[in-house]
Amino acid sequence: MISTKLFTQPKLAFPLLLGLILAMIILPLPPLMLDILFTFNISLSILVLLRCANVTSILQFSVFPTLLLLSTVLRLSLNVASTRAVLGNGHEGTDAAGRVVEAFGTVIVGGSYIVGAISFIIICIISFMVVTKGSERIAQVGARFSLDALPVRLMAIETASQNGQIDEEEATRRRENVLKESDLSGSFDGVAAYVKGDAIAGMAIMVINLIGGVGIGTIEHGMGASEAFKTFALLTIGDGLVAQIPSLLLAIAAGVLVSRISDGKTDLSETLLNQITGDRSIFFLSGGIMLAIAIIPGMPHLAFVTFALLLLTIGWFLADSDTQKQTVAPANTEAVEVRGNLQPLDWSVIPSINPVSLELGLKLVKLTTEEINQPLQRSIMGCRKTLSELVGFLIPEVAIRSSYLLKNNEYSIHIDGNLIAKGQVFPDHLMVVGIPPGDLSLDGIRGFDPAMNLPALWIEPDQRSAAVAKGFSVIAVHDVIATHISKVCREYLPLIFNFDDVKALNERLHQDHPELAETLGKSITPNLQMQVIRQLLTDQIPVKNVRTIANTLIESAEKTKDPIILASDIRLALSRTIMALISPLDKLLNVYTISKELTDKVHLYINNAKGIDPNTPLDAIPIDEDFQTSMMAKMPSMLQNMRAQRLPAILLVPNVMRPLFSKLARTYAPGLIVLSFNEIPVDYKINEVEKI
């Protein structure tokens, strides 16, 4: 009834065990009960050792640290009970602490108590100095490296999940296993101290039992010194042995579990057999060495020759087995495809290319871990949200992975798998910008803001208050990286925008204006829509106003299918949106214009190109070298001059020339805005700064 209740109500097991431990410490136990408990202790240790040898993964026996702790406490409590029996009843005979203690003492002592004591001490030394020490060190190193590798392993799982190599369910399972293994490694590091303390306690208890037993026997019970020594030596050694054998077995079990590097498929016995027999030549070499030792005069020839022949026989057997496996059947007249057990290649071996990806040096991986609430992912998501609201389509998720090719504090940003930008940050510091060149009030590492390439100072977190008090901007590392990603994404919007985004914009249009969406689908293909929107994004024009864009495309598509001309028509329809981006408050535009001579020259370029090929894009008109050199010199000068006045740098040109000048500006003066006269609303005024 009790056993049935125990298995159906497992929560009762721990209270019962706790009660048993307290009973052993407080109450005197009869010899029969001690026999039962000692036998149970030995059985438990053998069971645990065999289980440790048969697991294929450390997680299959994750309860081991707790079980090791409980068995240690149980064994020490049993030592207390047996010590009470030995010292209290030892004068009555060698069976005072039970038949198990007596039997072990008799076997180990044999005919000499000195030999028995030395044998017991050797067992204690093996347990404490060899097995326990080794297990403790392996547990310490394993815990440290497990914690160090935790961010990298989690990052590898995230990368595999984002690349489509594993599904989300498998990724979740692997993340849980990694965290469990990390917790388990830390538990092993702590529980190793219990194993070490158990071995020390066993030796101390033996000394106390022997000295105390001889003293009690001679003083209280009138035994002779020789008789007392023999009786209590046998009981002490037997008691110590029945405690040390389970302790040694559990120490070996701990060593087996923490030292094994498992493939997750085979147990210890199979792994040992496979790896030892993996090279048959070692058996021939070992057999030869044993034969050489056997011929040395004075050696036990029979023993060495026997094992030499055994090793050579095993080697021959393995060689013969390999030969049979490699034997090929006679060739048939028909060709036969030979594939063996190799799995065919499939598309899973080719890694997916993410639209936007971030690679981190090893010291930066910790910014992505759940232990510190994943600050990098949160900052990136915030920047994605802000940029998506600004440009009008959803910026894709940023794939994050670690890279051994980067320095520890470096990161790199990739668009469509191509390296676009790199940066260097200091993960345990804060970035301060806006510090005057001669200001030395803050201590830190001189560097640069990776996104803006401006001078910056990296300070310790405890200097944050001082920096803020001086009016400087203080930025966390994860925000620095996220801002850099946002800047790169904004510069490469045309590459990021793809067919999926066209589909998403059309679906949104269909929700709000179903008839308009249906008409647009009949008027223009998704491919042409993508080309037109990419033209707008190239000029940093947001595509939020899908209704206006759709209306313009439907109207203009009847006249042309040129994406540049269609984009120009949309720009005219969005002229007030463009003005709101350039000069939201001031309706006076300070602009550069082009002279009549330059206008005539560009018109000539366009006419000549269209005369040769009417389909020549307006942003790919052939121009002469002098004109190109002139723009290379003048455009940066215009940009620098207007920025010095804190004004938007604008070049105003005829509508047909805007694509060509816009492309030149992106090449020679990024940031110079090229507008056409048609794009200026009637209520805006123009101030001509200079004519070029």
CATH number, domain with residue 565 = 1.10.8.540
At residue 418 the predicted structure's pLDDT band, cuts being 50, 70 and 90, is very high
Q: What pLDDT sits at residue 132?
A: 66
Q: Domain check: are 75 and 62 in the same one?
A: yes
Which has the closest alpha carbon to 47: 35, 57, 58, 55? Answer: 55
pLDDT at residue 568 in the model: 94
Q: Which residues contact 506 (CB under 8 A, 6 or more apart)?
A: 517, 520, 521, 526, 529
Beta bridge partners of 411: 360, 423
Report if residue 272 sits inside a domain. no
The CATH number of the domain holding residue 622 is 3.40.50.12790
Spatial distance between the Cα atoms of 686 and 358, rounded to a whole number of angstroms: 43
* Per-residue pLDDT tens digits for 238-280: 777 777 788 778 777 777 776 665 555 555 566 666 666 666 7
Residue type present at position 146: S
Token pair of 331 as six digits:
């060739």
- Residue 672 half-sphere exposure toward CB, CA atoms < 13 A: 28
Locate 172 and state its tokens.
């979740």
Token representation of residue 319: 């060689």
pLDDT at 142 over 70: no
Question: What percent of the chain stands above pLDDT 90?
Answer: 33
Q: Could you give the CA distance from residue 669 to residue 641 in angstroms, rounded to a whole number?
A: 12
CA–CA dist 564, 620 (Å, integer): 11
Q: What is the mean pLDDT of residues 180-206?
A: 70
pLDDT in tens, 460-487: 998 898 888 888 889 999 999 999 999 9
d(CA 456, CA 483): 15
Q: Quote the pLDDT of residue 90.
A: 66
Place of tokens 């490469």: 492
Q: Are residues 136 and 171 in the same domain?
A: yes
- Residue 434: pLDDT above 90? no
> Which of 24-28, 92-96, 382-386, 583-587 shows the highest mean pLDDT?
382-386
Whether residue 82 is found in the same domain as residue 220: yes
Helix, strand counts (H, E) of the chain: 25, 12
The CA distance from 665 to 619, in Å, is 11
Q: What is the pLDDT of residues 85-108, one digit of tens each?
A: 777 776 666 666 677 777 777 776
Report if residue 348 sits inside a domain.
no
528 three-state secondary structure:
helix
- pLDDT score recorded for residue 9: 55
pLDDT of residue 517: 92
User: What count of Cα atoms within 13 Å lies in the side-chain half-sphere of residue 202?
Assistant: 30
Residue at 465: amino acid letter: S
Q: Are 680 and 583 in contact (CB under 8 A)?
A: no
Kindly give the interhelix angle for 168-219 and 64-89, rounded to the nearest 10 degrees: 10
Q: At what angle do helices 133-162 and 225-259 cross, to 10 degrees?
A: 20
400 and 431 fall within a common domain: yes
The residue among 145, 149, 250 whose CA lies nearest residue 189 is: 145
Q: Are residues 467 and 545 in the same domain?
A: no
Q: Which pLDDT score, from 0 to 100, does residue 423 have?
A: 94
**Shared domain check, 675 and 661:** yes
Residue 299 and residue 293: Cα distance in Å, rounded?
A: 7
Pair (106, 41) in one structural domain: yes
Give 652-691 pLDDT, tens digit per residue.
999 999 999 999 999 999 999 999 999 999 999 999 998 8
Q: Are residues 59 and 184 in the same domain?
A: yes
CATH number at residue 444: 3.40.30.60
Please state, in angstroms and as integers, the Cα–Cα distance from residue 178 to each residue in 59, 173, 267, 586, following that order.
10, 9, 20, 58
Q: Could you give the angle at the alpha carbon of 125 between the alpha carbons of 122 and 126, nearest 5°?
A: 85
The first and second tokens of residue 1, run together, are: 């009834």
Q: How confident is the model at residue 420 (pLDDT cuts 50, 70, 90)?
A: very high
**What angle (nearest 5°) sits at the alpha carbon of residue 385, between those of residues 383 and 388?**
105
Q: Using CA atoms, how far apart are residues 505 and 511, in angstroms rounded to an integer?
A: 10
Judge whether 328 lies within some domain: no
Residue 608 identity (one-letter amino acid): N
Angle at 379 between CA 446 and CA 421, to 5 degrees: 55
Mean pLDDT for 175-204 is 70
For residue 604, CA distances in Å to 95, 131, 525, 679 come to 119, 91, 33, 23
For 113, residues 6+ apart whose C-beta sits below 8 A from its C-beta are: 229, 230, 233, 234, 237
Query: Which of 474, 493, 512 lies at the terminal end of a domain, its last residue?
Result: 493
pLDDT for residue 371: 57
Give residue 144's pLDDT: 63
Number of domains in the chain: 5
For residue 627, is it within any domain? yes
> What is the DSSP-derived secondary structure letter of residue 28?
-
Using pLDDT thresholds of 50, 70 and 90, give the confidence band for residue 554: very high
d(CA 304, CA 488): 73
Q: Are both 561 and 656 inside the same structural domain?
A: no
**Predicted confidence (pLDDT) per residue in 223-246, tens digit:** 777 777 777 777 777 777 777 788
For residues 421-430, give the mean pLDDT.
92
Query: Taking residues 38-44, what's their average pLDDT?
Result: 83
Give me the chain's average pLDDT, please.
Answer: 81
3-class SS of residue 524: coil
Element (H, E) at 690: strand 685-691
Q: How far apart are CA 512 and CA 547, in angstroms?
A: 9
> Is the pLDDT at 631 greater than 80, yes or no?
yes
CA distance 209 to 375: 59
Output the six-digit token pair for 446.
């001189």
Q: Is residue 419 assigned to a domain? A: yes
Q: Running DSSP on this structure, what letter comes out for residue 420?
A: E
d(CA 657, CA 147): 61
What CA dihedral angle connects 101, 103, 105 and 108, to 10 degrees?
Answer: -140
Q: How do residues 389-398 score in pLDDT, each as one tens digit?
A: 999 999 999 9
Higher pLDDT, 535 or 341: 535
Residue 474: which of 434, 427, 446 has the closest Cα? Answer: 434
Say which residues have a Cβ less than 8 Å from residue 222's Cβ, sequence separation at least 6.
none
- Choice between 661 and 307, residue whose per-residue pLDDT is larger: 661
Mind giving me the DSSP string for 264-302?
A: SSS-HHHHHHHHHTT-THHHHHHHHHHHHHHTSTTS-HH
Domain co-membership, 152 together with 43: yes
H helical segments located in 456-513 = 464-469, 477-491, 493-496, 499-512
Neighbours of 289 (CB within 10 A): 13
Domain assignment present for residue 266? The answer is no
Helix axes 225-259, 168-219, angle to 10 degrees: 170
- Those residues with Cβ within 8 angstroms of residue 404's Cβ, 6 or more apart along the chain or in another chain: 362
Is 340 part of a structural domain of the chain?
A: no
* Mean pLDDT of the region 195-205: 73
pLDDT of residue 117: 73
Confidence band of 162 (pLDDT split at 50, 70, 90): low
Domain membership of residue 402 as a residue range: 356-493
**Does residue 326 have a pLDDT over 60?**
no
Degrees, nearest 5: CA angle 532-538-544: 65
685 and 538 within one domain:
no
Cα distance between residue 560 and residue 567, in whole Å: 11
Can you tell me the distance from the alpha carbon of 303 to that of 296, in angstroms, rounded to the nearest whole number? 13
Q: Which of 434, 468, 493 is the last residue of a domain?
A: 493
Distance of CA 336 to the CA centre of its chain: 45
How far, in Å, CA of 131 to CA of 127, rounded? 5
Assess whether 313 and 364 both reside in one domain.
Answer: no
Question: Looking at 210, 233, 261, which one is the last position of a domain?
Answer: 261
Length of the chain: 692
User: Using CA atoms, how far apart are residues 276 and 294, in angstroms rounded to an integer?
Assistant: 24
601 vs 349: which has the higher pLDDT: 601
Within-domain flag for 329: no
| Residue 331: pLDDT band with limits 50, 70, 90 | very low
Nearest to 492 by CA among 526, 540, 531, 422: 540
